[in-house]
Amino acid sequence: MAQGDLEKADRAPPLAPTPLGLGGEGFRPNFYDLAIFILIAGVFVVLAHGAREWSAPAARLAAEPVTLDPAMLPEYALRTTLRMFAAIVASLIFTFVVATLAAKSKRAELVIMPALDILQSVPVLGFLTFTVTFFLHLFPGSQLGAECAAIFAIFTSQAWNMAFSLYQSLRTIPHDLEDAALHFQMSPWLRFWRLDLPFAAPGLIWNTMMSMSGGWFFVVASEAITVGDTTVTLPGIGSWLAVAIAAKDIGAVLLAVLTMGAVILAYDQLIFRPVVAWGDKFRFEQTASRFRPHSWVYDWWRRGKLIRQISGFAGWIVDRVSDLPLPFTRAPRVHINVTVDKRSVGDWVWSALVFAVAGYTFYRIVLYTRATLGWGDLLTAFEFGLMTLARVIVLIAIASAIWVPIGVWIGTRPRLANMMQPLAQFLAAFPANVLFPMAVVAIVALHLNPNIWLSPLMVLGTQWYILFNVIAGASAFPTDLREVGIMFHMRTWQRWRQIVIPGILPYYVTGALTAAGGSWNASIVAEVASWGDTRLRADGLGSYIADASASGDYPRVVLGIGIMAVMVVTCNRILWRPLYLLAERRFRLEQN
């Protein structure tokens, strides 16, 4: 009987592997299957609890205000974590669609990339100013409206970094891999899952961790919302911190930070560390690294027999989708383009349409703001914008000088990167709002100038974009190229100039670009700091927008955001976009 079963198993067709390399054979469940299913069941229980709370009546927010009772902190942590994971899922979907379109279509790129430049610079409070009322009216009488507003605010602090990362990776795929995909006539669907996403996985995984951690920086703004006469306080760690800071309760602040650290450690072990271990297989190299990242959850997943069966079934479903007669599953026609890439009439028409829409939008903004504002207001906002611009330039330069060498040092040592991963996530997630009271007390006690000493608060939460991207670039750097520098006994500066900097440049540009945009974004909370009744203000565009939003002065909010968008897009076009093109043309990894 056993021999017959083996013969049947040999004759049975194997399950098709998934596009990302998961798959397995059918077996009876074992201990690891049971452990994984317990974890999955726990996730569904948490989701069910969150869904029940989100659908509760909005009146409960006023009847049950946020308190500093330590017994409520686990519930608040759960609510905040659910919001952040809802936002990260939305950010991933946004990234897969928007970044892929921008990388594959020049017409889409013409619209998407300037839009991303603008959106990443718009402060979270700038989005909340116009979206809170919309979501509250969309779900009247339910907490779901306020929850959607908070999730959307967190989404705006996560999505742009991930989109830039995927876009950068898709634009620097080696030509020989693209030729192989064309030779095998992969459909857009198969190419995305078998080439594009695997190649982009190392950088995207680290940027997803950075976006998740960066979202903690804005939890106070997203959970304790005040826009004009509308005030919404959602249960969560962010609102706990807001109440603790207002009450000058240092013990409650420290308790929230400890809880946040426990939450970060939990989802690092259960989610991000397994994903990093799984994504290591997609490193583009010919010589295998001597050390691979490990994860006990990922090891359990691979040892589970039933889990492998389910993974194989999921791969079978994905492959069946590839067989459907859909536009994105059709194999492309093979053609060789030997002519210089010239713009067609359709491209010119599309460009004209895009600029016409942009011009009309600018015209409507001018009409809206000129009704109550004059040239003096414009000059004031522009002057504040130059002040914030000077702060951003100086801070990004200092952060780059510090974190690029450290990031390369960590990323080229996989064992160290594996150990530093949770610490880096905690430091990136540490809400700078917690340090604001200390800064206020120090500035007041030492009689310092707020215009200077509030500035570092802008980069506290955004400097980690540079570190995470440099670590991702150094980790994805081919081992064989690193060994070339050792074999030829290159000096330190020569190795950095000819190997390291070209290898990490695409990742650094993504990190520095998003760090700069994030610093503009953070200016709205960093240029206005308070501790109890003491409030300090630094002159800049962030404080200008914060004051206008708090007073419900929407024309000034629009003017401030418009000035910020113009400055960010100008900087991106003058500096970051040329560096993107340089990385794409000269420093693309090739096998030949």
Length of the chain in terms of residues written: 592
Element (H, E) at 536: strand 534-537
Mean pLDDT score across all residues of the chain: 78
Other residues' Cβ atoms within 10 Å of the Cβ of residue 229: 6
Note the pLDDT tens digit of each residue in 553-571: 888 888 888 888 888 888 8
State the Cα–Cα distance between residues 329 and 188, nearest whole angstrom: 6
Angle between helices 296-303 and 305-323 (to 10 degrees): 80
Q: From residue 12, how far is each of 7, 26, 235, 320 by CA, in Å? A: 9, 11, 54, 19
Residues in the chain where the model's pLDDT stays below 50: 1-26, 336-340, 592
State the Cα–Cα distance between residues 503 and 481, nearest whole angstrom: 9
Half-sphere exposure of 556 (CA within 13 A, CB side): 19
Give residue 330's pLDDT: 66
Instruction: For 333-355, give the secondary structure using H, E and C.
Output: CCCCCCCCCCCCHHHHHHHHHHH
Contact 156, 120 (CB under 8 A): no
Got the DSSP string for 290-320? S-----HHHHHHHH-HHHHHHHHHHHHHHHH
State the Cα–Cα distance between residues 51 and 83, nearest whole angstrom: 11
State the Cα–Cα distance between residues 56 and 469, nearest whole angstrom: 40
State the Cα–Cα distance between residues 361 and 381, nearest whole angstrom: 19
Half-sphere exposure of 275 (CA within 13 A, CB side): 16
State the Cα–Cα distance between residues 453 and 455, nearest whole angstrom: 5
Other residues' Cβ atoms within 10 Å of the Cβ of residue 14: 10
State the Cα–Cα distance between residues 536 and 453, nearest whole angstrom: 11
Hey, what are 295's tokens?
């994860």
State the Cα–Cα distance between residues 523 and 541, nearest whole angstrom: 7
State the Cα–Cα distance between residues 268 and 277, nearest whole angstrom: 12
Instruction: Compute the chain's Rg from CA coordinates.
Output: 25
> Long-range contact list for 82-87, CB < 8 A, 24+ apart?
82/46, 82/47, 82/50, 83/147, 83/150, 83/151, 83/154, 83/222, 83/223, 83/236, 84/154, 84/212, 84/215, 84/216, 84/219, 86/151, 87/151, 87/152, 87/154, 87/155, 87/158, 87/215
Contact 381, 560 (CB under 8 A): yes
Instruction: Give which of 494, 275, 487, 499 is closest to 408, Cα–Cα.
Output: 499
Q: From residue 405, how far is each of 118, 428, 466, 504, 508 by CA, in Å? A: 30, 18, 11, 11, 11
Note the pLDDT tens digit of each residue in 487-538: 777 777 777 877 788 878 888 888 888 888 878 877 877 888 777 677 788 8
Q: From residue 113, how far is each of 108, 109, 119, 121, 562 by CA, in Å? A: 8, 6, 10, 13, 17
Hey, what are 401's tokens?
């000088």
Burial class for 8, CB neighbours closer than 10 Å (0-12, 13-18, 19+): exposed
**Domains in the chain, start-ordered, CATH in brackets?**
20-54+301-327 (no CATH), 55-282+349-586 (1.10.3720.10)
Strand partners, 142: 57
State the Cα–Cα distance between residues 304 and 312, nearest whole angstrom: 12
Pairing of strands 230-233, 528-531: unpaired
CA torsion angle for 552, 557, 559, 565 (degrees, to 10)? -170
Give residue 464's pLDDT: 84
Summary count for the chain: helices (H), strands (E): 30, 4
Give residue 27's pLDDT: 55
Contact 234, 132 (CB under 8 A): no
Got the DSSP string for 54-77? HTSBTHHHHHS-----GGGHHHHH
Element (H, E) at 374: none
pTM, 2 dp: 0.75
For 88, residues 6+ apart whose C-beta sits below 8 A from its C-beta are 158, 208, 211, 212, 215
Give residue 340's pLDDT: 45
Buried b (16+ CB within 10 A) or exposed e, 499-538: bbebbbbbbbbbbbbbbbbbbbbbbbbbbbbebeeeebbb
